[in-house]
Structure 1
């Protein structure tokens, strides 16, 4: 970190929070700091203009990453892992997949339509693949090693005990 870029304490703190919580979105930054929203917006724009952070849109949120640490595929995985039920869908698919929408619905205790919506978003991001076996459609994670690795490295920033229990075998990754 160059001195002029981080001479302002609030800018440095925001950058460090983004680096420690890749894929964090604006509201989470507002909750993490007592700064005014305008202050956070100003520093985010400054950091983006200085190419110190990357800005990614996941369709619902604008997410922030330390520059050059995540390629597009990593950002897609992190965007999904930042969403509670997408993260849980991925965890179940990794632990026990491939699974159907009905099986995931039962495991997550969510309506099939909700699970289907998450699966559709994950498929649009190329994170899951759909496999048809007769009338049964099941889903599997496209790149399980990438998802496991990113979850393991950044799991402390997710605070999801359900997924931690499902994927606890990754402690030694």
Structure 2
């Protein structure tokens, strides 16, 4: 699909923003684009009805993807990468994993309960595995190559220099 195939200029601009930032959510689109809420909702519905975009619910946000560019597993990864602390947890696990909740809490300077909540969401989405190591539970990334690849390809749409420094992925792909 080429955005030039979309006749309505505002719809074309919305589609282009989604293509540039796959997994973007409604509020971010509203903040980025010069359209009123109702106008944006209308055009998103039209794009979805025409099968030009896919709509994904990550449990907190409704996220948008160019249709046919991302399968369901890739959308799940991108949904996680769009959440700041999930992205940082994945980065630490990729760089230094497997790690425990305590290890991650120390690295992120966040409460263990916060880290545990994010890890639970990542585990529910089958993005991380957990394994008992003596008295502690350690986590690791389920499919590191997929996560690294999607992060690398869409790195410019994430504004997280901490993760960029941790992973240094541009050299890998």
Shift of 1:134: 1.6
Question: What RMSD, in angstroms, separates the aligned Cα atoms of the two structures?
Answer: 1.4
Encode CA deviations 1:12-49: one digit per residue, 9 max, x unaligned: 00001101100000000001111101111000000000
Counterpart-to-counterpart distance in 2, 1:4 and 1:160: 31
> What SS is found at the alignment partner of 1:140?
strand
Q: Shift of residue 7 of structure 1?
A: 1.2
CA distance in 2, matches of 1:20, 1:156: 9
The answer (yes or no) to whether the contact 1:148–1:170 under 8 Å persists in 2 is no
Q: How many residues are treated as equivalent by the alignment?
A: 173
Deviates more, 1:93-102 or 1:30-39: 30-39
Query: Could you list the per-position Cα deviations for residues 112-151 of structure 1 after superposition, in whole angstroms to 9, with x for gaps in the alignment?
Result: 0000000000000000000101211100000000000000
TM-score norm. by structure 2 comes to 0.96
Tell me whether 1:63 sits opposite 2:66 in the alignment: no
Distance in 1, Cα, partners of 2:74 & 2:3: 29
Unaligned runs of 5+ in 2: none
Instruction: Give the 3 Å change call, closer, same or farther, for CA 3–67 of structure 1 in structure 2.
Output: closer
- Secondary structure of residue in 2 paired with 1:138: strand
Q: 1:21 to 1:4 in 2, by over 3 A?
A: closer
Assess, with a 3 A threshold, how the Cα gap between structure 1 residues 136 and 63 changes in structure 2: closer, same or farther.
same
State the secondary structure of the residue aligned to 1:126: coil
Partners of 1:137 and 1:66 in 2: CA distance: 37
Compared CA separation, residues 172 and 128, structure 1 to 2 (3 A): closer
Instruction: Provide the TM-score with structure 1 as the length reference.
Output: 0.96
User: Displacement, 1:168?
Assistant: 1.1
**Distance (whole Å) between structure 1 residues aligned to residue 161 and residue 74 of structure 2:** 22
Structure 1 unaligned regions, length at least 5: none
1:53 aligns with 2:53: yes
The residue matched to 1:164 in structure 2 has which SS? helix
| Distance (Å, rounded) in 2 between the aligned partners of 1:42 and 1:124 | 32
For the 8 Å contact 2:24–2:82, the answer to whether it is kept is: yes
Task: Name the counterpart of 1:158.
Answer: 158
Native 8 Å contact 1:20 1:157 kept in 2: yes
